[in-house]
Each structure stands twice: as C-alpha cells, then as structure tokens.
C-alpha cells in the first residue's frame, strides 16, 4: 500500500487526504472544484485525471456525498472500477443505505476488487487530525488492505462484521439520532424563548442536565451565537434522514421522530437555507412562532 486516490476534497475528505499524506503515502486528490485540488497539491498531494491515474492506485477512498456519486465514480460513463489494479481496495466513506453498500461490495468483487464499507463520524476537525471514528465492515482481505489507511485517518475503528452493510446500517442509526437531536436542540431552544429562556442561558444550563446531547452541545452555540456558517449543511440531513425514511419505510418501521425531524430540515431547505449550517433548522421554528433569533435583525 503506497499510492492512494481520494475522491471528494470537501470538509471531510480534505482532512482525510492530509492525514494520509502525513502517514507517508502518495495521495492523488480528485474533486470537481479545481481550487481544492490545487490547494491539496500545495500541501504535497498530487492531482491528475482519475482515469489516467487509476491503474497506479493501491486503493481508492471515496468521500463523496451519496451512493449515486459513488456509482458514477466507479461504474459511470468514465467509471474507474474497470481501470483499477486487480485486488485494489475501494474504501466507501459516504453515508449510504446498507443495501447500496452490499451492492458495491458485490459488483466490485465481480471486478476482482476489494471493498470496505467504512462510513465516518466526527466532523472536519477530527478528519484533519486523523482522529475520525470509522464504522467498518467487509472481508478480512479488505480490512487487511485498509489497515494503513484506517490507521492514518481514524482514532477509533469499530469492526462491525465481515461483509459490507453492517457499518452503513450503524451509520444510519447514528444519522437518525444526530438529525433528531439537532432538530430537538432547535425545538427546545426556540420553545424556551417562548417561555422567556434566552438561548445562551438554555445552553449553559441544559448542557449540564439530563437533556443534553452531543449535538445540543455542538450545534446549540451556533443558534445562541447566530452563526450559521456551514460546518455541516442542512442538505446533509435532508439527504441522510431521507435515507433513514426510505429504508424505514421499506422495513415497515414506523419512525415518527425521524419523520418529524426530516420535515423540519425539508422546511429549512424550502426556505432557501439548504446550504446554511444544519443548526439553521432553528429558523423554521422561529419563523413559525414569530420569534427573532440571536443574530437576526432585532435579535
């Protein structure tokens, strides 16, 4: 394992690419935004056209947005699955439905390639530090090939089974909770405002009470400070709670909290806030209740 390709130099992928460089690997970075590739090259990474580089890669790390983008990169019109070396590893880090992960494993296996189902959690800062949490499942061969990459990028790796699927299933459980907790934080802080509780007080007190959550402590300050620069955007939860909704419906599983949270993120997106920080779901609550949030005019 010495030469790695990484597709998707966004907030997560860029940091992961840097972590791979720090581990001494040769890393080719690919992104639709040429300025991200140039930035990565300035840090010691390499660019190039994926189709031309593919044959030299020991592994391809996919940090794209969804299963559709993964399928396009691998099997689309200029898909690279056919150009990769026999036995090369594909590391799938996007959030996808478990069935999609199983499908990638099967199609890549038929092409003589290894696949590790490896969704990530932890945010951009942890990605840059090489301190992500990764949920991983796949064949022992895929795990063995992935070892130096996981070592470079993650502080914690949960090994969840010997086929693709379980890791993506666990990631969906995490996203269900994360999405519900962000919407709940927004609901609670705006509800508090109707009862005379200022968001900053709410944050200070609840963080030390049984009502707290990782997301309340992480996103609550965005609301209290009126700072909606996107650390992770509203559209991410439109997508991820959408996948939860799809696979819950297919399983005939009634998920009323996830469904309610999805509607709030959809409303945020419908209000034109899709690219703002996901904490902007608070603006849906505020507008519905005639409240002025911190940082808004008059707030």
* Residues catalogued as catalytic: 171
Q: Does 279 contact its own copies by CB under 8 A?
A: no
* Residue number, 60 or 97, with CB nearest to its own copies: 97
Q: Does 156 contact its own copies by CB under 8 A?
A: yes
Written as six digits, the tokens of 237 are 């939860």
The Cα angle at residue 70 between residues 178 and 163, in degrees rounded to 5: 75
* Contacts (Cβ under 8 Å, ≥6 apart) of 34: none
Q: Does 218 contact its own copies by CB under 8 A?
A: yes
Give the one residue of 108, 213, 222, 277 binding its own copies; rule: CB under 8 A.
213
Q: Does 79 contact its own copies by CB under 8 A?
A: no
Give the one residue of 140, 254, 297, 298 binding its own copies; rule: CB under 8 A.
254
The Cα angle at residue 164 between residues 127 and 109, in degrees rounded to 5: 110
Q: What is the nearest approach in angstroms of its own copies to the Cβ of residue 224? A: 13
Please choose, out of 4-12, 86-94, 107-115, 253-261, the segment that lies near its own copies by the rule CB under 8 A.
253-261
Q: What is the nearest approach in angstroms of its own copies to the Cβ of residue 236? A: 12
Q: What is the nearest approach in angstroms of its own copies to the Cβ of residue 154? A: 12
Burial label, 35 (beta-carbon count in 10 A; 0-12, 13-18, 19+):
exposed
- Give the helix/strand (H/E) hosting 136: strand 132-138
Q: Does 95 contact its own copies by CB under 8 A?
A: no
Q: Does 118 contact its own copies by CB under 8 A?
A: no
Q: Does 96 contact its own copies by CB under 8 A?
A: no
Give the one residue of 65, 197, 200, 271 binding its own copies; rule: CB under 8 A.
197
Q: How many other C-beta atoms lie within 10 A of the C-beta of residue 100?
A: 23
Angle between helices 98-110 and 166-194 (to 10 degrees): 150
159-175 burial, b for 16+ CB within 10 Å, e for fewer?
ebeebbbbbbbbbbebb
Q: Could you tell me the sign of the dihedral formed by the alpha carbons of 274, 8, 135, 25, in that order?
A: negative
Written as six digits, the tokens of 33 are 């935004």
Chain contacts with its own copies (rule: CB under 8 A): 98, 121-123, 133, 135, 156, 158, 160, 165-166, 169-170, 172-178, 180-181, 183-185, 187-192, 194-197, 201-202, 204-206, 208-216, 218, 244, 247-248, 251-261, 263-264, 285, 288-290
């Amino acid at each position: 394992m010495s030469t790695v390709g990484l597709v998707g130099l966004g907030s997560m992928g860029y940091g992961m690419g840097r972590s791979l460089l720090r581990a001494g690997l040769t890393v080719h970075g690919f992104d639709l935004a040429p300025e991200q590739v140039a930035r990565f090259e300035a840090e010691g990474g390499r660019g190039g056209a994926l189709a031309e580089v593919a044959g030299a890669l020991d592994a391809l790390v996919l940090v794209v947005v969804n299963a559709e983008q993964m399928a396009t990169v691998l099997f689309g019109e200029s898909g690279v699955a056919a150009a990769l070396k026999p036995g090369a590893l594909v590391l799938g880090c996007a959030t996808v439905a478990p069935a999609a992960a199983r499908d990638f494993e099967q199609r890549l296996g038929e092409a003589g390639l290894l696949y590790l189902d490896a969704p990530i959690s932890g945010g951009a800062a942890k990605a840059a530090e090489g301190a992500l949490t990764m949920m991983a499942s796949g064949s022992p061969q895929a795990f063995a090939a992935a070892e130096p990459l996981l070592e470079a990028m993650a502080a914690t790796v949960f090994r969840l089974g010997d086929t693709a699927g379980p890791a993506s299933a666990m990631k969906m459980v995490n996203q269900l909770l994360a999405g519900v907790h962000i919407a709940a934080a927004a609901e609670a802080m705006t509800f508090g405002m109707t009862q005379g509780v200022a968001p900053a007080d709410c944050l200070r007190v609840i963080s030390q009470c049984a009502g707290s959550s990782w997301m309340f402590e992480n996103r609550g300050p965005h609301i209290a400070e009126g700072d909606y620069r996107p650390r992770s955007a509203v559209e991410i939860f439109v997508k991820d709670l959408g996948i939860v909704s799809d696979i819950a419906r297919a399983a005939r599983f009634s998920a009323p909290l996830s469904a309610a949270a999805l509607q709030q993120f959809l409303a945020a997106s419908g209000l034109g806030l899709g690219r703002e920080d996901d904490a902007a779901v608070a603006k849906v609550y505020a507008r519905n209740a005639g409240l002025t949030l911190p940082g808004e005019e008059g707030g």
